């Protein structure tokens, strides 16, 4: 399976998770786990050995960035149910896609 297809699958899953969990405040923690899993999967695909400390650092950095991006902006938009939920799905999917592209470039 090519890396771009793998990234697209993770992006689709992130969109589904964000769509289902968008009414729940703080649901971006579910997406953080998915993002860390995608990074580990891409690293393994490129035979890149990740240490536990690197995984922990990546998880912390992803959580921080996703908190700023998704929670800060989109928690405000949840108060407008329809457009806020749609925006959360779009932002989560785009974030996972570009994170996957960057991880793939880093590991290849």
Q: In what helix (H) or strand (E) does residue 94 lie, and over which residues does it extend?
A: helix 81-107
Alpha-carbon span 12 to 18, nearest angstrom: 10
Alpha-carbon span 45 to 67, nearest angstrom: 28
Look at the pTM and tell me if it is higher than 0.85.
Answer: no
Whether residue 7 contacts residue 104, with contact meaning beta carbons closer than 8 Å, is answered with: yes
Listed by start position, the domains of the chain span: 3-107
Whether residue 3 contacts residue 42, with contact meaning beta carbons closer than 8 Å, is answered with: yes
pLDDT of residue 107: 85
Alpha-carbon span 78 to 74, nearest angstrom: 6
pLDDT of residue 75: 65
Alpha-carbon span 28 to 49, nearest angstrom: 27
What digits encode the pLDDT tens for the residues 35-92?
Answer: 888 888 988 898 888 888 888 888 888 877 777 776 666 666 666 667 777 777 888 8
Q: Report the half-sphere exposure of 42 (CA within 13 A, side-chain side).
A: 27
């Amino acid at each position: 399976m090519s890396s771009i297809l793998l990234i697209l699958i993770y992006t689709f899953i992130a969109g589904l998770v964000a769509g289902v969990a968008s009414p729940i405040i703080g649901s971006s923690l579910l997406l953080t786990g998915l993002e860390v899993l995608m990074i580990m999967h891409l690293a393994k695909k490129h035979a890149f050995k990740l240490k536990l400390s690197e995984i922990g650092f990546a998880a912390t950095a992803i959580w921080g960035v996703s908190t700023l991006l998704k929670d800060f902006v989109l928690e405000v938009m949840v108060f407008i149910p329809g457009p806020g939920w749609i925006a959360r799905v779009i932002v989560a999917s785009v974030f996972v896609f570009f994170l996957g592209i960057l991880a793939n470039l880093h590991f290849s």
